[in-house]
Amino acid sequence: MSPPMSPYDPKYTWDRNPSRQAPLAVTVPPPDYPVETSHFSPESHRSSKLSRALHTRSRSDWTNTLTLKSFTNDPELGKTQPPQTPRTRDRLTKFLFDLRMPSRNARQEWLPMQEPPLQPWPPLEVEKHRHGFCDECQERNDRRRRNRAVLFALVILLLYLLGNVIFLNVRVVRLSQPLATSATSPAATTTASPSESTALSADAQSCLSQFALNAPANPQSYPCSTCLSVLQNIPSNVTSASAQDAQQALSAVQFCGLRSIFETADSEGQTGLSNGGWVKDIRFCAWSGVQCDGFGRVSSIQLSFPGVPAKIPDEVTALTGLTSLQIVGDTNVPAGDLPASFGSLTALTNLHLESTAINALPSAMLNSLNMLKTLVLVKNGNMTGDMTPGIASVALVNLVINNQPLSTDPISALLASSFTSSKLQTLDLSSTSLSGSLPSDLSAFTSLVELHLDNNSLTNPLPARFPDTLQALTLTNNSQLEGAVASGTSLCGLAQLKTCDVRGTGLSAQDGCGVCQFS
C-alpha cells in the first residue's frame, strides 16, 4: 500500500525559498576503536573487563575531532552543539518501530519531490549557406515574381478596358439631339474635302457604337427609327475605307429591317415570332424563317401565321439583299398596301403571298422587280387591280395565281411579251374567274412545261396548237368546254404529255387521246 499523499508532506514538495538548516554531518569512529561482538559468538571469551570498558567509554574517546570541528566552525550555522549519543529510550523506540513495520526497509523509500531540472538548450547550429543553394528561398522568390507578373498583367488589362469604355462613351452621342446627317444638304456633302469624305459622321459613329454596346444586351432598345436612315446614307467610299465599320453598318441595317416586321405584328404575331427567337438578340441570321448569304445580308424570309406582321412595313425595303419573300397569313393578316418602296428590292427573285388581305400589287411595282423569276399569289381575296402589264414586263419563269380573281386575262399579254414567252415554264391560273376562249396558238410558249387552267369559265374552241414542250395539262371543271377531240390534234397530239386531265368538261376523245382523262 502506498503511503498517503499530503499536499504539505515535505517528501513531495519542495521549498522555493528554503531557510538555513544545519548541514548533514557524519560521525566517523577512530580506526582503532574495538568492535562490539555478540556475547553468544565464539569470541565471547574475551574478558568482561574489556566489555565493560566499551560500554563505559566516554564520547571523547571515539568521537572524531574533525567531525566536531565541522559542527562548531560552520560559518553559515554558527556555533552549534555537538551531536548527542542516542539514549536507551531512543533505541527502544526505534526497536519497537522496526518491529511494527517489518517491511519498512524492504519497501523502496519514497523520495521527496524535487524540482524538475531544466533541460539545457541544444546548441544553435547556425550555418551560413549561399543564397543560390536555398531551394525553399528560390521557390518563394519565384512565387513572388509570378504573383507580381500576374498583378501587373491584370492592371494593364483593367487600364485597357477602362480606356476602351471611356473612348466608346466619348463616341456615343445623345440621339435626342438633332442629327447632323439630316441637317446636311447634298451640296454640303459633295463639297466636303477628301479627308472628311472617308470619315464617319458623328451620328453614324453613335449608331454603330450603340449597336455594338447596347443592342446585344437589349435588342429592342436600339433606336432603329433614327439610326436606320443614318446608316443607309453612309457613302460607299466611307464604308470601303473601313471594312469593320461597313460590316457593322450592314448588320445594323439588316437588324432594323427585320425588327420592323416584329414591331408591326400584333400580340399574337409577336408571340409567334418570339417563339422563333426573333428580337431576343442581334444574331438575326439564326431567327426562325430567316436565311443570310455569305456577306451577312438577309437573303430569304419565310413567315407563316401566326408569326406574320399585321402589314408589310416600309423598313423591310432596307433588306436590299433579299432574294426570296414568302408570307402565308390567315386571309386577314397581313393587310393593307405594300410599301411604296417595295420595288427597291431589286434582288428579289421569288415572291410568294398567300392568304393575305393585301390590297394590290401594282404593275409599276412589278416593273421594278426586274430580277423576279417566280410570282405566287394564292387566296389573296382583296388583291384587285390589273397586274397584267407588270407581269408581262418581267421575265417570269413560274407564274402561279390561284383562288383569287383576275380583272383581265393575262395569257394573251404573256404570249406577246418577249420577256415571258420564251422563258415561262409554269403557268397556273386556276380559280381566277377566266372566261372566254383561249388563244388559238399557244406554241409561242417555247419553254412551257405545265399549264393549269382549272375551275374557270373557258369556252370553245380549244387552241389548235399547244406547246410541244408541255408535259402537264389540266382543264378540269370548265363545264362550257365541249365537243370531240380528234386523235393527233390539239391536246391529243402532244408527244411529251405525261399528265392530262379534262374531267368536269364536255370534251370527249375521238379514237383515243393518249394519257388524257375525260369525264
* pLDDT surpassing 60 at residue 110: no
pLDDT of residue 136: 75
* 443 vs 15, higher pLDDT: 443
* pLDDT surpassing 50 at residue 457: yes
* 387 vs 130, higher pLDDT: 387
The three grid cell numbers given for residue 431, joined into one nine-digit string? 380559280
Write the pLDDT tens digit of every residue in 346-366: 999 999 999 999 999 999 999
pLDDT of residue 32: 64
Band of residue 21 on the pLDDT scale cut at 50, 70, 90: low
pLDDT of residue 327: 97
* 423 vs 129, higher pLDDT: 423
* pLDDT surpassing 90 at residue 434: yes
pLDDT of residue 297: 96
pLDDT of residue 95: 80
> Taking the C-alpha atoms of 12, 13, 19 and 22 in order, what is their torsion angle to the nearest 10 degrees?
10
Write the pLDDT tens digit of every residue in 49-65: 444 444 444 444 444 44
pLDDT of residue 180: 40
Band of residue 139 on the pLDDT scale cut at 50, 70, 90: confident
* 240 vs 236, higher pLDDT: 236
| Minimum mean pLDDT range among 11-20, 123-132, 389-398, 426-435 | 11-20
Q: Provide the percentage of residues in the chain whose pLDDT is more than 70.
A: 71
The residue to which cell 394573251 is assigned: 412
Write the pLDDT tens digit of every residue in 367-414: 999 999 999 999 999 998 889 999 999 999 999 999 999 989 999 999
* pLDDT surpassing 70 at residue 113: no
Question: What does the domain layout of the chain look like in residue ranges?
Answer: 23-84, 160-175+200-291, 434-519
Smallest Cα–Cα separation from 235: which of 205, 197, 183? Answer: 197
Q: d(Cα 388, Cα 408) in Å, to the nearest integer? A: 7
CB atoms closer than 10 angstroms to residue 349: 16
| Minimum mean pLDDT range among 22-36, 43-57, 120-134 | 43-57
* 11 vs 417, higher pLDDT: 417
Average pLDDT over residues 155-172: 75
| Minimum mean pLDDT range among 165-174, 251-260, 332-341, 393-402 | 165-174
* 85 vs 383, higher pLDDT: 383
| Residue 470 contacts residue 484 (beta carbons within 8 Å) | no
Average pLDDT over residues 475-489: 92
* pLDDT surpassing 70 at residue 67: no
pLDDT of residue 338: 94
pLDDT of residue 195: 44
Helices 243-264, 267-275: axis angle to 10 degrees equals 130
Strands 324-328 and 350-354: parallel
* pLDDT surpassing 90 at residue 320: yes
Q: d(Cα 518, Cα 507) in Å, to the nearest integer? A: 7
Q: d(Cα 481, Cα 502) in Å, to the nearest integer? A: 9
Write the pLDDT tens digit of every residue in 328-351: 999 999 999 999 999 999 999 999
Max avg pLDDT among 66-80, 253-267, 504-518 = 253-267
Q: d(Cα 328, Cα 304) in Å, to the nearest integer? A: 5
| Residue 312 contacts residue 338 (beta carbons within 8 Å) | yes
pLDDT of residue 419: 87
Q: d(Cα 217, Cα 172) in Å, to the nearest integer? A: 17
pLDDT of residue 103: 52
Write the pLDDT tens digit of every residue in 91-102: 888 887 777 765
* pLDDT surpassing 80 at residue 291: yes
Average pLDDT over residues 419-424: 92
Write the pLDDT tens digit of every residue in 181-223: 333 333 333 334 444 456 888 999 999 999 999 999 999 999 9
Instruction: Look over the chain and give the mean of its residue pLDDT values, rounded to a whole number.
Output: 80
